[in-house]
Amino acid sequence: MFWPDTISEILEVKYPVIQAPMFGVSTPRMTAAASKAGCLGSLALADLSAAQSAELIRDTKKLTERPFAVNIFVHHIPELTDSLRERFIKTQQFITRLAKENNIEVQLPDSEEIKVNGYHEQIDAIIEEGCKILSFTFGNLDDKSIEKLKENGILLIGTCTSVEEALILKNSGIDIICVQGIEAGGHRGTFDADNIPEIGGMSLFSKVYDHVKVPLIYAGGIYNGKTLRAAKELGAQGFQVGSILLASEESGLQPFEKERLKNVTEKDIVLTRSFSGRYARGIKNKYIESLENSAYILPYPYQNKLTNELRKVSKKLNNTDFIGIWAGQSIHDYSELSTEDILKQLIFQAENIF
């Protein structure tokens, strides 16, 4: 049998292939379509409020009766000190001026207007909605939350980008660990937002495999049968894919964003903190070039909240220079087929490539 069965049995899916929870790209429709392909769909809840999270979960349940994971951010929220408020004002002014110079009129929020959410209220909503699989990123859950979730029969999937992080997750009793290599698209799952391990997925996975004896999911650079098989050879029991679904029928990307993907080259893909304050891999543009390595990047989630309105306005203008299009290092044709068909093709390739 080609597919490892440990994670398939734990997750109650036919194939141990996980649709990555790409906030802003994945949708309830994508989650349901991945489940229909016999894979594990993931619903990205990020740092939404409990009410917003519950609404998305209910919307997804209307589309599928199959298991799916919900995914949340478990980041540290820095205190909004006087010093940070001063930096916020300077960053707000700089970005507003940069936007205006590029014919974008935008009203960015003041620091007092920004609402930041922790994850504890989300956990209550997830339990109340009867979800049974929770994945998370940007750190580890606190001990009380882990205990509470396990008491309610919820399976936990943590994200690591180093051996040290993997050991923290394992020692906390996390059931499955997703090992994310530096080549993966979107935000790094790194615990420390300012210091990311720059290690490729293959090297990282091999090290984690030697140190951590829990089921492991590989994430980063999988876009066809060969890359999935490579991860399997290293011992991966699950395979998370994201970038291959960016242009899918169910993707939240707009047509002009999908068109930009078709013209992307290797030199266009960069790591940046400019949009969110956390490192993310995506397509370089004028905004990133203007902000990266500048004094105008606030810690997450303040930078993310500050630039949200700019991204919304730029999307309405079809302006690719002031939005974040997250994508991994594996450049490919970015199929516009349905998520279900793209995943079925990947599964077929992996099974039959040799």
* Per-residue pLDDT reduced to its tens digit, 324-334: 999 999 999 99
For residue 160, is it within any domain? yes
For residue 257, is it within any domain? no
Backbone angles phi, psi at 272, to 5 degrees: -145, 145
For residue 244, is it within any domain? yes
- 87 band by pLDDT with thresholds 50, 70 and 90: very high
Q: Do 243 and 309 have their domain in common?
A: no
Q: How many CA atoms lie within 13 A of 154 on its CB side?
A: 29
Question: 282 and 84 in contact (C-beta within 8 Å)?
Answer: no
Residue 254 has pLDDT above 80, yes or no: yes
Give residue 319's pLDDT.
98
Q: What three-state secondary structure class fits 153?
A: coil
Q: Do 101 and 33 have their domain in common?
A: no
In 3D, which of 120, 25, 18, 23 has the Cα closest to residue 69? 18
- In eight-state DSSP terms, residue 129 is T
Residues 6 or more apart in contact with residue 93 via CB below 8 angstroms = none
Residue 225 has pLDDT above 90, yes or no: yes
Using a pLDDT cut of 90, give the percent of the chain over it: 98
Q: Do 36 and 153 have their domain in common?
A: yes
Q: Do 269 and 140 have their domain in common?
A: no
Residues 6 or more apart in contact with residue 245 via CB below 8 angstroms = 19, 20, 22, 25, 26, 30, 251, 339, 342, 343
One-character DSSP codes across 48-102: --HHHHHHHHHHHHTT--S-EEEEEE--------HHHHHHHHHHHHHHHHHHHHT
Residue 173 has pLDDT above 80, yes or no: yes
Query: How far apart, in whole angstroms, are the C-alpha atoms of residue 272 and residue 283?
Result: 9
Query: How far apart, in whole angstroms, are the C-alpha atoms of residue 256 and residue 85?
Result: 35
For residue 99, is it within any domain? yes
Over residues 103-129, mean pLDDT: 96
Number of domains in the chain: 2
Q: Do 237 and 93 have their domain in common?
A: no
Q: Do 166 and 219 have their domain in common?
A: yes
User: Residue 133 carries which side chain, given as an amino acid letter?
Assistant: I
Residue 1 has pLDDT above 80, yes or no: no
Over residues 169-187, mean pLDDT: 97
Question: 279 and 193 in contact (C-beta within 8 Å)?
Answer: yes
The token duo for 159 is 């994200």
Give residue 325's pLDDT.
98
Residue 354 has pLDDT above 90, yes or no: no
For residue 260, is it within any domain? no
Q: Do 109 and 120 have their domain in common?
A: no
Over residues 10-39, mean pLDDT: 98
Give residue 194's pLDDT.
87
Give residue 138's pLDDT.
98
Q: Do 271 and 307 have their domain in common?
A: yes
The token duo for 188 is 């790094």
Other beta carbons within 10 angstroms of residue 270's beta carbon come to 15
For residue 149, give the CATH number of its domain: 3.20.20.70
Report pLDDT digits (tens) over 71-82: 999 998 999 999
Give me the domain span that covers residue 316: 80-115+265-326
Q: Do 11 and 124 have their domain in common?
A: yes
Over residues 162-170, mean pLDDT: 98
Q: Do 98 and 245 have their domain in common?
A: no
For residue 55, is it within any domain? yes
